[in-house]
Amino acid sequence: MPGRRLVLAYSGGLDTSVAIRWLKDQGWDVVAFTVDLGEKKDLDAIQARALKTGASAAYVADGRLPFLQLFVWPSLQAGAVYEKEYPLATALGRPLIAAMMVEVAGREGAQAIAHGCTGKGNDQVRFDVTTAALAPDLQVVAPVREWGMNRDDEIEYAREHGIEVPATVREPYSTDENLWGRSIEAGVLEDPWTEPPKDVYAWTRDPRSCPDEPTYVEVGFKEGIPISLDGKAAGPLEIVTTLNRVGGENGVGRIDHLENRLIGIKSREIYEAPAAVLLLQAHQALEDITLPKEVARFKDLVGQQWAQMVYDGLWFSPLRDALYAFVAETQRHVTGDVRLKLYRGSSHVVGRKGPQQLYQHALATYGKGDQFDQSAAAGFIKLWGMGVRTATQVQGQLHDRDLGKLLGDVKRLTP
């Protein structure tokens, strides 16, 4: 394919540095693209390395704010947690990166995009499907799926071709991080019976070395979106970075998850996500006090579907548009404040309030000011139980159980 151009998702690491030269050997003109989603990358150094390695051009972008506003916040509103554990940090970042690559491909007149994902992971699906959704005519090239090299082969390839890479020593783990979380896998973690070693964690303290006194944090929301910390207005970046720091200092946000990958493999993943854990917990508490019962119960199902959709790489799909229409409607009254208590690896909601909360003291209290009409309860219960009463009267016992055996040890006492 001589003379053809593609945009490569370039991290600056071994895989994608080798990929630049390998793709050039396949006849591609390579444009490198790097986006910062909160990894604290040296973008200038990465851009320079891409050009030195053989890219004809190198783009860098700060995607942190759009990542939070366009991908993380809607997922927070949805209450999306994959398999009750994973806050979807990497899964939320990939469609944004792919969408930005499609835009760069248009600017550069490229015919394809490329990424460094393996054939065993979920990210390949997220890149490929996002590209198909946004630019169906673009080709997707995945060198790691094609070249048949292992890491040692790549290191040798880099040496032979004079490719500068930041390190050639095998790291004990494979990691990925952005503002919403850090993921760690491989190495000893591939044994699900093995407790994660201390060196796995970088963002969170061991609970045993956390402060002796609890830390309190107050988060303010408007229509399901975080807008303040401890009573002071704050933007998305400040809120997430602060909660990552405070949560990590208190050992909050460690997750050990045996998850089902999209391609059918079970994988053991370790996550650190202090801000995500705290904000999801606070958001749920505010929904508990503002959403009607039926809406809250159905929204749980929508949240599960949203998480599955994100994990499966279907962010840019009619399903997401339809689900968000429901989610946005549910968030109209999710405004208020939540107080969290952080202590040695745990976090608990200890206070919640909102201007449109459905909790009413006059109905809930057993003390003075009780306005609940208890006399109405008997009629309500009679109607509520009419179905089971009628079934028993007409059809007999609903369950084939010997109640006599269950009650056999009950003794009757007389004075």
Helix 293-311 crosses helix 89-108 at what angle (to 10 degrees)? Answer: 50
Active-site option among 94, 205, 320, 352: 94
Contact 54, 27 (CB under 8 A): no
Edge-to-edge strand ranges of the sheet holding 139-141 = 57-62, 28-36, 4-9, 112-114, 139-141
Q: What is the DSSP string of 253-322?
A: -EEEEEEE-TTS-EEEEEEE-HHHHHHHHHHHHHHHHHS-HHHHHHHHHHHHHHHHHHHTT-SSSHHHHH
The tokens of 85 are what? 């554990």
Catalytic site includes residue 174: yes
DSSP state of 196: P
The tokens of 343 are what? 């202590």
Cβ neighbors of 241 (< 8 A, separation 6 or more) are 38, 179, 275
CA 345 to chain centre: 19
* Sign of the torsion formed by the C-alpha atoms of 156, 159, 164 and 169: positive
Active-site option among 123, 205, 320, 347: 123
The tokens of 207 are what? 């609970």
Catalytic site includes residue 320: no
Q: What is the Cα–Cα distance from 117 to 121, expressed in whole angstroms? A: 7
Active-site option among 25, 174, 199, 332: 174
Residue burial 220-247, b: 16+ Cβ < 10 Å; e: rest: bbeebbbebbeeeebebeebbebbbebb
Q: What is the DSSP string of 47-95?
A: HHHHHHHT-SEEEEEE-HHHIIIIIIHHHHHHT--BTTTB--HHHHHHH
Catalytic site includes residue 176: no
Q: What is the Cα–Cα distance from 291 to 287, expressed in whole angstroms? A: 5
Contact 357, 267 (CB under 8 A): no
Active-site option among 15, 29, 36, 337: 15
The tokens of 333 are what? 């009254």
Catalytic residues, by residue number, are: 15, 94, 123, 174
